[in-house]
Amino acid sequence: MSGLLEAFRRNYAANSEAFNRHDFVAAFAAAPDDLVWEPMPQLVDRQRLEGKAAVIEAFRGIADAWPDWHTELLEMTEPTPGLIQLRFLGRGTAKISGVPTETRFVQEWDFRAEPLTVREYLA
């Protein structure tokens, strides 16, 4: 296991509980201020979020629409040096309709260039 993957795994373990209780400030505390996030269009109405504050605000919107939204990590790998890939199962119930949803998706954390960029897509 690379040093990056090991450090990321430790950081993820420390912050995933905060994420799942929707404390996004705590969950993203270690993220750089210039973080760039390219979210799944199914969850966020923008293709690109620039800055940690924008990312936190977008996740607050998701939590408002799906109050019980939570993720379960299925796999964490480093397929290419500097690129951490996480596979998730996300579950939640829509606030307005009461319809439950379950989504498998991938996040790629790209540490190879600045700013740190996270890309999400359906698995």
Residue-level pLDDT at 43: 66
Residue-level pLDDT at 41: 78
43, 26 contact by CB (below 8 A): no
DSSP for residue 47: S
Q: 111 vs 13, which has greater pLDDT?
A: 111
Band of residue 113 on the pLDDT scale cut at 50, 70, 90: confident
CA 108 to chain CA centroid, Å, is: 9
What phi-psi label fits residue 51: left (phi over 0), alpha (psi between -120 and 50 degrees) or beta? left
Report the distance separating Cα 13 and Cα 24, nearest Å: 14
Task: State pLDDT tens for residues 1-54.
Answer: 799 999 999 999 889 999 999 999 999 999 999 999 999 877 666 789 999 999
* CATH of region 3-122: 3.10.450.50
Residue 121 has pLDDT above 80, yes or no: yes
